[in-house]
A and B are shown apart, each in its own frame.
Chain A
Amino acid sequence: MVQGWAQIAIFIVVLVALTKPVGVYMARVFTNQRVFLTPIVGPIERLAYRALRVRLDAEEQDWKAYARSLIVFSLLFWVALYLILRTQGIQPFNPEGFHSGPWDLSFNTTSSFITNTNWQYYGGETTLTYFAQMAGLAVQNFVSAAVGIAVLVALIRGIVARSGESIGNFWQDLVRILLYLLVPISIIGALFLVSQGVIQNLSSSTVVHTLGGGQQILAQGPVASQEVIKELGTNGGGFFNVNSAYPFENPTALTNFFELLLILVIPAGLTYTYGRMVGNQRQGWAIFAAMFVLFVAGVVVVYMAEQHGSPAQHAAGLHTAAFDGSTGGNMVGKEQRFGIANSALWSAVTTVTSCGAVNAAFESLTGLGGAVPFANLGFSEVIFGGVGAGLYSMLLYVLLAVFIGGLMVGRTPEYLGKKIGAREIKLVSLGVLFTPLVVLLSAGVASATELGKRSLYAGINPQGFSENLYAYLSQANNNGSAFAGYTGFIQPNAPGNHGAYGISFADLVGGVVMVGARFAPILFVLAVAGALAGKKVSPAGLGTMRTDNPTFVFLLIGVVILVGALTFFPALLLGPIAQSLSTRLF
Chain B
Amino acid sequence: MRRDLLTSLLAVVLMTVGLGLVYPLAITGIAQVVFPGSANGSKVSFEGRVVGSKLIGQEFKGRAFFHSRPSATEYSGNVTFFGNGGPNNVETRESIREKLAAYVKLEKPYYRSLTRAGVPVDAVTESASGVDPHISEANAGIQAHRIAAVRKLPLEQVEELISDHTDDRFLGVLGEPGVNVLQLNIALEEEAPLK
User: Are chains A and B native binding partners rather than an unrelated pairing?
Assistant: yes
Chain A contact residues, CB within 8 Å of chain B: 3, 6-7, 10, 48, 51-54, 68-69, 72-73, 75-77, 80, 123, 125-126, 134-136, 138-139, 142-143, 171, 174, 178, 183, 186-187, 190-191, 194-203, 205-206, 208-212, 214, 216-220, 222, 224-226, 240-242, 245-248, 251-254, 256-257, 309-313, 315-320, 323-339, 342-343, 358-361, 363-367, 369-370, 457-458, 462-463, 483-485, 494-495, 579, 582-586
What is the distance, in angstroms, from B171's C-beta to the closest C-beta of chain A? 8
Cβ contact within 8 Å between A139 and B175:
no
Chain B contact residues, CB within 8 Å of chain A: 1, 3-12, 14-17, 19-21, 23-25, 27-28, 30-32, 34-35, 38-43, 46, 49-53, 55-56, 58-62, 65, 69, 75-90, 92-94, 96-97, 100, 116-122, 124-139, 141, 167, 169-170, 173-178, 182, 185-186, 189
Cβ contact within 8 Å between A336 and B83:
no
What is the distance, in angstroms, from A208's C-beta to the closest C-beta of chain B? 5
Q: Which residues of A contact B137 (CB under 8 A)?
A: 325-326
Give the top 7 A-B pairs by smallest Cβ distance, nearest first: A253-B175, A135-B20, A325-B138, A339-B176, A326-B120, A310-B87, A245-B128
The answer to whether A77 and B174 touch (CB under 8 A), given A240-B80, A318-B124, is no
Chain B residue with Cβ nearest A132: B20
In whole angstroms, what is the CA distance A504 to B59 when docked? 37
What is the distance, in angstroms, from B190's C-beta to the closest C-beta of chain A? 11
Option from A10, A200, A332 in Cβ contact (under 8 Å) with B28: A200
The answer to whether A72 and B4 touch (CB under 8 A), given A139-B19, A241-B81, A458-B86, is yes
Cβ contact within 8 Å between A68 and B12:
no
Q: Which residues of B contact A143 (CB under 8 A)?
A: 15, 19
A/B interface sample: 10 pairs, CB < 8 A: A123-B79, A125-B80, A222-B24, A241-B79, A327-B121, A332-B96, A335-B127, A365-B87, A463-B88, A483-B84
Q: Which residues of B contact A10 (CB under 8 A)?
A: 173-174
Cβ contact within 8 Å between A125 and B79:
yes
In whole angstroms, what is the CA distance A68 to B141 when docked? 64
What is the distance, in angstroms, from B93's C-beta to the closest C-beta of chain A? 4
Cβ contact within 8 Å between B128 and A335:
yes
In whole angstroms, what is the CA distance A53 to B121 when docked? 60
Option from A125, A323, A484 in Cβ contact (under 8 Å) with B84: A484
The answer to whether A138 and B80 touch (CB under 8 A), given A194-B38, A324-B138, A337-B134, is no
Q: Which residues of B contact A194 (CB under 8 A)?
A: 27, 31, 34-35, 38-39
Cβ contact within 8 Å between B35 and A80:
no
Cβ contact within 8 Å between B51 and A208:
yes
Chain B residue with Cβ nearest A333: B128
Option from B9, B24, B93, B167 in Cβ contact (under 8 Å) with A312: B93
Q: Which residues of B contact A462 (CB under 8 A)?
A: 88
Cβ contact within 8 Å between A138 and B24:
yes
Chain B residue with Cβ nearest A135: B20
What is the distance, in angstroms, from B19's C-beta to the closest C-beta of chain A? 5
Q: Which residues of B contact A195 (CB under 8 A)?
A: 34-35, 38
Given contacts A138-B20, A313-B125, 12 further A-B contacts (CB under 8 A): A48-B14, A126-B79, A135-B20, A211-B52, A212-B59, A246-B131, A310-B88, A318-B100, A318-B124, A326-B120, A336-B136, A364-B83
Q: Which residues of B contact A330 (CB under 8 A)?
A: 87, 121, 125
What is the distance, in angstroms, from B43's C-beta to the closest C-beta of chain A? 8
Option from B16, B24, B46 in Cβ contact (under 8 Å) with A226: B24
What is the distance, in angstroms, from A330's C-beta to the closest C-beta of chain B? 7
In whole angstroms, what is the CA distance A440 to B24 when docked? 39
Most-contacted residue by chain A among B8, B32, B78, B131 (CB, 10 A): B78
Q: Which residues of A contact B129 (CB under 8 A)?
A: 242, 245-247, 335
Cβ contact within 8 Å between B41 and A242:
no
